[in-house]
């Protein structure tokens, strides 16, 4: 008979091995997954206030694993970053997003802006601007409908080089957004040194909005300052109607979150668009 201690050890060992296996399986499978294009993009609507028209979407990647099913980006983007596979994967995302815009246009939909997330390693890639330019040219997408979402930490890693890179993107005609704003350490005044057009306020500030917490004042001041600096502001992670009411009062231009829709497949997004934008 085994002692309790031994059994407990076995349980622990089993779970640990499980995690390591999952890590290795995902990491090892990633290269093959890229070759076999086991990925899709989902699209979460961006809603303009106060009329609540859909004016855009954010592209969010999902891995459709042949055995494990749908895997969320939080589980494999870090692995892709570590291994460098984020470069071919990121390229696939940009090209897929551009093709999607082209397909929606060919289907007769009114144009909307599509934003794509970049990772830090991808942002440092020397030929990134050329790659985006080629994707736009090959699909004939009007660059004003493509937006890149970047984080503060990406820009701060090498501020001078980032400024130059962002200017190159601006010359192509696309727009640039700061994602997860408020979670980094940079002030809005400093961020304005970068040629950016949009500020996306992080979900952590939106969660308890309208309950008289400090976040109310922070969000209100951020929106006021962004408006003063001619930046478009969008709030992410909006789940409650009361948050929309508060954001309307602060003159926030756009919202995104589960209150309106979770990220959708292309087909479901088109249906949502047709039902929602009635006028």
Give the long-range contacts of residues 20-25, CB within 8 A, separation 24 or more. 23/79
Site string for ligand C2E, 102-141 (x = CB under 6 A): ---------------xxx----------------------
d(CA 115, CA 133): 15
CB neighbours of 120 closer than 8 A, spacing ≥ 6?
A: 81, 151, 153, 154, 157
Number of shown-chain residues binding ligand C2E (CB under 6 A): 20
**What, of Ca ion, ligand C2E, none, does residue 214 touch, CB below 5 to 8 Å by kind?**
none
Residue placing its CB nearer to ligand C2E in the complex, 7 or 72 = 72
Q: Are 122 and 116 in contact (CB under 8 A)?
A: no
The strand pair at 53-65 and 69-71 is best described as antiparallel
Site string for ligand C2E, 6-45 (x = CB under 6 A): --------------------------------------x-
Q: Are 62 and 39 in contact (CB under 8 A)?
A: yes
Which among 9-17, 27-35, 67-75, 158-166 is the span making contact with ligand C2E, rule CB under 6 A?
67-75
Residue for token pair 């984020």: 86
Q: Of these, 52, 53, 73, 240, which contacts ligand C2E (CB under 6 A)?
A: 73
SS3 47: strand
Q: Residue 231 — φ and ψ, nearest 5°?
A: -105, 140
**What, of ligand C2E, Ca ion, none, does residue 258 touch, CB below 5 to 8 Å by kind?**
ligand C2E
Interface ranges with ligand C2E (CB under 6 A)? 44, 60-61, 72-74, 77, 90, 93, 117-119, 179-180, 237-239, 257-258, 263
Interface ranges with Ca ion (CB under 5 A)? 117, 149, 179-180, 236
């Amino acid at each position: 008979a085994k002692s309790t201690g031994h059994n407990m050890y076995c349980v622990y060992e089993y779970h640990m091995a499980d995690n390591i296996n999952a890590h290795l399986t995902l990491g090892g499978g990633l290269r093959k997954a890229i070759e076999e294009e086991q990925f899709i993009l989902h699209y979460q609507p961006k809603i303009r206030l106060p009329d609540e028209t859909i004016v855009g979407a954010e592209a969010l990647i999902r891995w459709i694993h042949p055995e494990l099913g749908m895997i969320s980006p939080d589980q494999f983007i870090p692995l892709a970053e570590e291994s460098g596979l984020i470069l071919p994967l990121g390229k696939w995302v940009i090209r897929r997003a551009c093709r999607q815009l082209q397909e929606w246009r060919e289907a007769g939909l009114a144009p909307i802006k599509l934003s794509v997330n970049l990772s830090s390693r991808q942002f440092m890639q020397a030929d990134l601007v050329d790659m985006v330019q080629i994707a736009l040219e090959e699909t004939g997408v009007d660059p004003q409908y493509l937006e890149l979402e970047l984080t503060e930490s990406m820009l701060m890693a090498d501020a001078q080089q980032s400024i130059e890179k962002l200017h190159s993107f601006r010359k192509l005609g696309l727009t640039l957004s700061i994602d997860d704003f408020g979670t980094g350490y940079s002030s809005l005044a400093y961020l304005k040194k970068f040629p950016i057009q949009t500020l996306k306020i992080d979900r952590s500030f939106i969660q308890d909005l309208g309950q008289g917490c400090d976040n109310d004042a922070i969000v209100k001041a951020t929106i006021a300052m962004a408006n003063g600096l001619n930046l478009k502001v969008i709030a992410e992670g909006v789940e409650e109607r009361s948050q929309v009411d508060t954001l309307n009062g602060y003159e926030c231009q756009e919202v995104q979150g589960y209150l309106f829709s979770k990220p959708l497949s292309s087909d479901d997004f088109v249906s949502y668009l047709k039902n929602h934008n009635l006028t």
